[in-house]
Amino acid sequence: METLVTTSNNLNDKTICITGASSGIGQAIAQHLGSSGAHVFMMGRNRSPMDESADLIRSAGGSADVATFDVADLEALSSWVASAAASTGRLDVMVNNAGFGDVGATIADGDPAMWKAMLETNVLALAVGCQAAIKAMRSTSSQGNIINISSVAALQRESGVYGATKHAVNCINSSLRKELQDEPIRVTSVMPGVFATNFTRNVDRTMVEGIAGMAGITELEFDDDSRLPQHQIDQIQQALAIGIGDVTHIANAVEYIILQPSELNIEEIVIRPQKSLLS
């Protein structure tokens, strides 16, 4: 008789894969779950911050592994998930977090190359991540959670091409919930509003400057990838806490989802700050 690797009411020894873990929401989720006892497998394109997260997790008693590749490399993504499950003998949670966009950009003046990259990362890589997780959960007889980070843009019909990719994420979620309802694998969509991540890559620069101005910051230190340094993101969030959320709250929500009884599926969570600045 097949033995099911069951869930428990804590994170100890759970195997968790997280994409896009080098910054923002993914980094916060990895640090929180890993520091709570999980074995966290992180992937992203920037290794240095993931190594820092791994050190923090290990110092708190958790375990962490780091991989560096582009999530749009679908073969690498599938192999990474399979390898994580093989190394621990289970896969409890897959968090498909990697994504980006062009919030505020118009379709009339948009960049098709950007649209293509968004579709490859936000939709195709997420779908492949789900598929790889299902295969790993089935092969290891694990009770699992697939948690896909969507966006409140998926709640709006006029949210552009970026919003279209997040509508697609929610469609994938709903389809998977129906496909997997007779298996011990749960699927959840988390839809954040504006949080203190490097949202500057996803929002028109004029909007970013306007938000920073509301926080009293007039000199922004953009790098070549339109990222702001973490200290400026923290300054903006602290000054506008009512309108820009702290990513640790999303990490807490993800933990809540994971720790629910196996017979309960949290279908969707919309999480945003008290006041909406962009959505």
Query: Locate tokens 């992937």: which residue?
Result: 43
Q: Residue 226: left (phi > 0), alpha (psi -120 to 50), or beta? A: left
Cα–Cα nearest to 53, from 24, 73, 87, 82: 24
* Residue of 162, 167, 173, 237 with catalytic role: 162
Is 256 catalytic? The answer is no
* Cα separations in angstroms, 58 against 40, 51, 54, 130, 247: 10, 11, 6, 27, 21
Nearest 5°: the CA angle 155, 161, 165 is 60
- In angstroms, the first-to-last Cα distance of the chain is 51
Q: How far apart are CA 168 and CA 160, in angstroms?
A: 12
Contacts 24+ apart (CB under 8 A), 67-75: 67/41, 67/42, 67/43, 68/43, 68/44, 69/43, 69/45, 70/45, 71/19, 71/20, 71/43, 71/44, 71/98, 71/121, 71/125, 71/129, 72/117, 72/120, 72/121, 72/124, 72/125, 74/124, 74/125, 74/128
Q: How far apart are CA 166 and CA 74, in angstroms?
A: 19
CA 5, 252, 194, 204 torsion-angle sign: negative
Residues with a known catalytic role: 162
